[in-house]
Amino acid sequence: MNQSLKSNIFHLYLDVFWYGIFVGSTFTFIGVYLTRLGASSFQIGLLTAAPAIVNLIISLPIGRWLEGRSFIQTTFQLAIWHRAGFVLTFLLPSLITGNADQIWAFVSVVSVISIAGGAVTVSFNSMFAEVVPSEMRAHVVGRRSALVALTSVVTSFVCGRILDSLIFPLNYQIVFVLGFIGMVISGWHLGRIRKTDSSATPPTPAQPTIQVAPPMSARAGDGRLSGLRFGGSTLIRFDVLRGSFRYFLISFFLFYTFQYVPVPLFPLTFVRVLHLTDGEISLGTGVVFYVAFLITSMSLGWFTTRFGNHRVLVASAIIYCAYPILIGVWGTKESFWLASFIGGGTWGVLAGALIHRLMESVPENDRPAHMALHNIALNLGILFGSMIGPVLGEWFDLRTAMIISGVLRFLAAMMLGVWG
């Protein structure tokens, strides 16, 4: 390994290390903060739905825009704009005093930031494939995942202590400052990455993000119905849906949709039903969840080798239903701790099984076209799920809505068993 490659991997590790501070602070607590301001389930849902909408709009043309540009330089430039927006997260509580106005201001800021964030996602994946040799990518991705989990655990614990010790909203402003600092330093490390001689391997879409499909090869049929084109390049090819991949994609779309149904309901349930303190929320969602995640994620290889990706995927998806159901049925702090442990432990296996199963089901010689459609299904699922959750929260009490969301997750797991 040459020195420049070592340097790039070092900065990729530090990038995600500092990004984990953002995850354990701003990312973890922004929904809880808006809940304490009196946000509705619909407004909490928009925090997730808005980025999904932006990703659906941005990800396809941004790939075309990236053609001919330096992935390294462009990623750094986009990261600056993306991270700069988070300065508003700790300024808004001082600039806007009305709770209702502040809630909508936060939703608006998150939506605008997502424009640069969606572009960074596409550009970063291309840059990552360019600077990290193919034989090292799995190792580097695994280390990055472990680093972000470890940093998130520690940061969430510290933020919980800060939130319980200081007055509102100063406590949240300090937490958001920590998240901003983490994002800025993370972006600085992205700017230290350089192209090396070992960067010659062409980028391959190994991660579940929207990719731009290459020009379509000659196929029989009506070309007008075979794909979505932009600037002369085929962005989406619908011909890949003619085979079994269509049913596979439907099962994954339903899975993503129903996984996100309880997401807008969690902060509301933690605060208004379980009456958890911020410190208790940080321990459950940050420490207990991610410690369990780290323990089981290291066993993923053993599970998949012994039982196969499909069986592991379906089994873990079924167990993951317990997360919202336990909280909904018991409605106690004890149920929150247990659900966090089971949820984190299950997600440590489920997250990896999803990626492995996806890679198994996508042909290597036509991966970009299949991945583009997958990522449309992913973002549509996030969007629909984030909107279904608030509807359940309005129609039913929060505990009942949590139980229903768990049942929907179970149905999605069954669909993975049939078509996934």
Residue partners of 288: CB distance under 8 A and separation at least 6: 337, 340, 341, 344
Strands (E), 40-138: none
Confidence band, pLDDT 50/70/90 cuts, at residue 229: very low
Query: Cα-flanking dihedrals φ and ψ of residue 235, to 5°?
Result: -90, -40
pLDDT value of residue 235 = 57
d(CA 310, CA 330): 31
pTM of the model: 0.80
Strands (E), 189-339: 227-230, 233-237
Mean pLDDT, residues 386-390: 94
- The rounded percent of the chain whose pLDDT value lies above 90 is 48
Selected residue with higher pLDDT from 134 and 8: 8
Residue partners of 8: CB distance under 8 A and separation at least 6: 131, 132, 193, 194, 196
Whole-angstrom Cα Rg for the chain = 21
d(CA 304, CA 361): 15
The CATH superfamily label for domain 1-198 reads MFS general substrate transporter like domains (1.20.1250.20)
Lowest mean pLDDT among 2-6, 206-210, 218-222: 218-222
**Domain boundary assignment for the chain:** 1-198, 243-420
- Residue 110 CA, chain-centre distance (Å), reads 14
Task: For residue 234, list its beta bridge partners.
Answer: 229
Half-sphere exposure of 394 (CA within 13 A, CB side): 12
Helix or strand run (H / E) with residue 298: none
- The tokens of 333 are what? 């702090």
Selected residue with higher pLDDT from 140 and 103: 103
pLDDT value of residue 244 = 79
HEC assignment per residue over 299-313: CHHHHHHHHCHHHHH
Mean pLDDT, residues 332-356: 90
pLDDT value of residue 116 = 84
Question: pLDDT for 398-419, tens place per residue?
Answer: 999 999 999 999 999 999 988 8
pLDDT value of residue 146 = 81
- Residue 41 CA, chain-centre distance (Å), reads 19
Q: Greatest CA separation found in the chain? A: 67
Confidence band, pLDDT 50/70/90 cuts, at residue 64: low
- Residue 207 CA, chain-centre distance (Å), reads 12
Question: pLDDT for 301-323, tens place per residue?
Answer: 788 888 888 899 999 999 999 99
Amino acid at 143: R
- The tokens of 375 are what? 């990522």
- Helical ranges in 23-70 per DSSP H: 28-37, 41-66
d(CA 57, CA 228): 13
Query: Cα-flanking dihedrals φ and ψ of residue 205, to 5°?
Result: -75, 80
Res 253 pLDDT > 80: yes
pLDDT value of residue 205 = 41
Mean pLDDT, residues 91-117: 91
Residue 301, exposed/middle/buried by CB under 10 A (0-12, 13-18, 19+)? exposed
Closest CA to 172 of 91, 236, 113: 91
- The tokens of 27 are what? 């990312």
Closest CA to 22 of 114, 173, 163, 152: 152
- Residue 50 CA, chain-centre distance (Å), reads 13
Residue 401, exposed/middle/buried by CB under 10 A (0-12, 13-18, 19+)? buried
Closest CA to 75 of 203, 215, 208: 203
Task: For residue 230, list its beta bridge partners.
Answer: 233
Res 279 pLDDT > 70: yes
In CATH terms, 243-420 corresponds, of 3.40.50.620, 1.20.1250.20, 3.30.450.40, 2.40.30.10, to 1.20.1250.20
